[in-house]
A and B are shown apart, each in its own frame.
Chain A
Amino acid sequence: MTTGSNLLAFLGLVVTLLIVWRQSWPARLRLFVAQSLLLAALASTIGVLAQRRGLLLVAAVFVVVKGWVIPRVLARIGSGAPVRPVAPGRSSGITLLGAGALVVAAYVIMLPVTAAAELPTERAIPLAFAMALIGLLLCVTGRDALGHILGFLVFENGIFGLAILATYGLPGIVEAGVFLDVLVIVLIMEAVVVQVRREHDSIDVDHLRELRG
């Protein structure tokens, strides 16, 4: 179980770093789907090896919600966006460097947790937390609504991974609530983005600068 969970969490982190690196929206969306599928695989691996039937169900719902429904909604939101040329002088290098630093930070912050854990999966916990932190970074540095939503979802995925690794899944009602929440947030975001686009003819959040003081 240790090898499996470590490997899957590591691959998840690699995919997360690739999301930071890539600039094109369709590629990032595909990477997000890959990350979601890896996390579902992680959940089902732990579900089988630790004999938690409930986790298999969670993994199945996760694949449907995060691997299929939400990417479809995101694709729908993104389809109206103009292809943004990468601004000159702006590369993902700095952000990648920040993401690297966050991986180190994740290990440091999670020290109390790994110290208290007596689980075969404990070594993968900081990797999942790093995914969450990088999602937060994407959210903060995102320049348009799509970047914000994607960052938020990566963040959410990282927390899901951490919950699976550290607790082998939360009680069913909480998991169900989380899925419902994420789904509704994305749908509301879509509604808001559609309106932003109508008002401003763009989903660049630089336009949202009226409220000050």
Chain B
Amino acid sequence: MMLGVLLAVPLIGAVLLWRAVGRVATALHTLTAGLTLTAALAVSVRVNQGPPLVALDGFLRADALSGWMIALIGIVAALAASEAPRYLAQTTGGRFYPLFHLFVFTMLVAVSTDDVGLMWVAIEGTTLASVFLVNFERTRASLEASYKYLLLCSIGIAIAFLGTVLVYFAGIQQFGDEAHALRWTTLQRLAPGLAPRVMELAFVFLVVGYGTKAGLAPMHTWLPDAHSEAPAPVSALMSGVLLSVGVYAIVRFKPAVDVAAGPRFAQNILLALGLLSVAVAAAFLWISANYKRMLAYSSVEHIGLVCIGLGVGGVLGTAGALLHIANHALAKSIAFLVSGRIRAAYGSTEIAAVGGLMRGLPRSGALFLAAILALVGLPPFGLFVSEVMILAACFRQGFPLVASAALVLLVIAFAGLLRGGHAILYGTPPREPAMEAHGWRAALPGAVALLLLLVTGLAWPPGLGDALNRIVAIVVP
């Protein structure tokens, strides 16, 4: 019932918004985002207090891992939604609101189903719902970005489908339990008997496929384009949670593969791709001349780190990876939302064209500075804690070389991002910016996200550790 409400709210909102215009649309949009957030938080609290929520004969199912993702999607969607009216005030109409909520809906479906087939359909749906949002401004650059995004992600998701077919094949070959052979809970239960070589092959396809959605190098090439050309609220959603939904899909399959084929196989693949992603991002962070692209490459870096955490596994690595997903989602959505305001004030996303933000736009500048400091992993923000957890897990599980390589790459990325951030924040502004947004409503989303980052960085509330423990119990077989 609760799951049904959670999924119905954004869907109904999207349908109603299809025809709504003007103030009615803004009000309906705010209402939908608020209700989605409420339902998401209610579901995630509920699954952390009792057994998993199940609906439609087990077709929809939310456990602690789903609850974590649902809460994140709800929070980031609310942050992005609060910025959307300000963005739309500067552009001419178009169907922004309905597609926005449809996008949120597809992500929520992807993380709250037990059926890996439906999960696949929903993740493909995220691409279809967001492609017009990427091309919302209909410029040459956004057109190119949306073309690459649609093509590469469609191919990626088709490869993931191939992996899903092979998993299904392994399931029915062994057991003939065809009615529920695509259920994740069934796979988990039957995993010891699944053909190990087939599961390995399937996992390769799944990682390449869903890794494309997650933005793992070398399949990340669509990401900087799409994230930099999309409107700021959409960039925040894509970078903050869409990438994590791709990671989530990999996390769902990993336990079954670990049991069927031994933990080494998935571990090696995830560590290699994770390190490669951090390396690629570290290099590109140094040469980005566009601040939205810079933020996009920073996402590749953090998703790479998450992958390393999942790869080394164990309690610490897995919990660190999950926490890092949440921290990154909060910090990156703030950074992207502020980047939208910077662009509105200066009319450009080139680093060279903005400069002197701290003087020109003091409020946005301060928020951007905080987001950058959080993203490079400095205390007191949460990313520091989760990065330390991941690196400590590398040492504890016997991967000192991986940890050292990651550390070196992180320092390079750190310097690259700080360099870009410095160029944007200080120096002389090349021209007078337009008025920046002010008032408590403009400041609220950033303040909330920063507060949450301080909470995960300094003082964990009692429920947080429990939630992570519940997730680890699901992911680590």
Chain A contacts to B: CB under 8 angstroms: 109, 111-113, 115-118, 132, 136, 139, 145, 148, 152, 155-156, 159, 162-163, 166-167, 170-171, 173-174, 177-178, 180-181, 184-185, 188-189, 192, 195-196, 199-200, 205, 208-211, 213
19 residue pairs of the A-B complex, CB under 8 angstroms, read: A112-B198, A112-B200, A116-B170, A116-B173, A148-B151, A159-B165, A162-B162, A170-B117, A170-B165, A171-B178, A171-B182, A174-B118, A181-B121, A181-B128, A188-B132, A208-B147, A209-B144, A211-B141, A211-B144
Contact of A167 with B168 at beta-carbon distance under 8 Å, contacts A112-B200, A113-B198 already known: yes
Chain B residues contacting A111 (CB-CB under 8 Å) are 197
Q: In angstroms, how far is the closest chain A Cβ from the Cβ of B18?
A: 16
Chain A residues contacting B178 (CB-CB under 8 Å) are 171
Q: Which secondary structure characterizes the binding site on chain B?
A: helix
Interface: B329 (CB within 8 A): no
Chain A proximity mask over B63-82: 1 for CB below 8 Å, otherwise 0: 00000000000000000000
- Judging by beta carbons under 8 Å apart, are A116 and B197 in contact? yes
Given A167-B165, A211-B148, 11 extra CB contacts under 8 A: A112-B197, A113-B166, A116-B195, A118-B173, A132-B162, A163-B165, A174-B182, A188-B150, A211-B144, A211-B228, A213-B289
Interface: B146 (CB within 8 A): yes
Chain B residues contacting A155 (CB-CB under 8 Å) are 155, 158
- Judging by beta carbons under 8 Å apart, are B173 and A117 in contact? yes
Report how far A159 CA is from B158 CA in the complex, Å: 8
Q: In angstroms, how far is the closest chain A Cβ from the Cβ of B327?
A: 27
Cβ 8 A contact of A152, one of B132, B155, B170, B198: B155
Report how far A156 CA is from B165 CA in the complex, Å: 12
Contact of A174 with B120 at beta-carbon distance under 8 Å, contacts A109-B201, A113-B198, A136-B155 already known: yes
Report how far A101 CA is from B338 CA in the complex, Å: 50
- Judging by beta carbons under 8 Å apart, are B118 and A173 in contact? yes
Chain B residues contacting A211 (CB-CB under 8 Å) are 141, 144-145, 148, 224-225, 228-229
Q: In angstroms, how far is the closest chain B Cβ from the Cβ of A185?
A: 5
Interface: B287 (CB within 8 A): yes
Report how far A185 CA is from B289 CA in the complex, Å: 32
Report how far A208 CA is from B150 CA in the complex, Å: 14
Q: In angstroms, how far is the closest chain B Cβ from the Cβ of A3?
A: 22
- Judging by beta carbons under 8 Å apart, are A152 and B172 in contact? no
Interface: B299 (CB within 8 A): no
- Judging by beta carbons under 8 Å apart, are A173 and B117 in contact? yes
A-B pairs, 5 with minimum CB distance: A177-B121, A112-B197, A174-B117, A116-B195, A208-B144
Report how far A73 CA is from B143 CA in the complex, Å: 20
- Judging by beta carbons under 8 Å apart, are A195 and B143 in contact? yes
Contact of A113 with B182 at beta-carbon distance under 8 Å, contacts A166-B165, A196-B147, A210-B141 already known: no
Q: In angstroms, how far is the closest chain A Cβ from the Cβ of B435?
A: 30
Contact of A213 with B288 at beta-carbon distance under 8 Å, contacts A139-B155, A188-B150, A192-B135 already known: yes
Interface: B23 (CB within 8 A): no
Within 8 A of A (CB), among B272-296: 284, 287-290, 293
Q: In angstroms, how far is the closest chain A Cβ from the Cβ of B341?
A: 23
Contact of A170 with B168 at beta-carbon distance under 8 Å, contacts A152-B154, A188-B150 already known: yes
Chain A residues contacting B118 (CB-CB under 8 Å) are 173-174, 177
Chain B residues contacting A196 (CB-CB under 8 Å) are 143, 147
Interface: B114 (CB within 8 A): no
Within 8 A of A (CB), among B111-154: 115, 117-118, 120-121, 124-125, 128, 131-132, 135, 138, 140-141, 143-148, 150-151, 154
Nearest chain A residue, comparing its CB with the CB of B144: A208
Contact of A159 with B144 at beta-carbon distance under 8 Å, contacts A116-B170, A177-B117 already known: no
Q: In angstroms, how far is the closest chain A Cβ from the Cβ of B73?
A: 20
Report how far A116 CA is from B131 CA in the complex, Å: 39
Chain A proximity mask over B98-119: 1 for CB below 8 Å, otherwise 0: 0000000000000000010110
Chain A proximity mask over B281-325: 1 for CB below 8 Å, otherwise 0: 000100111100100000000000000000000000000000000
Within 8 A of A (CB), among B30-49: none
Interface: B161 (CB within 8 A): yes
Chain B residues contacting A188 (CB-CB under 8 Å) are 128, 131-132, 150
Chain B residues contacting A162 (CB-CB under 8 Å) are 162, 165
Most buried by B among A116, A155, A192, A211: A211
Report how far A180 CA is from B135 CA in the complex, Å: 22
Interface: B346 (CB within 8 A): no
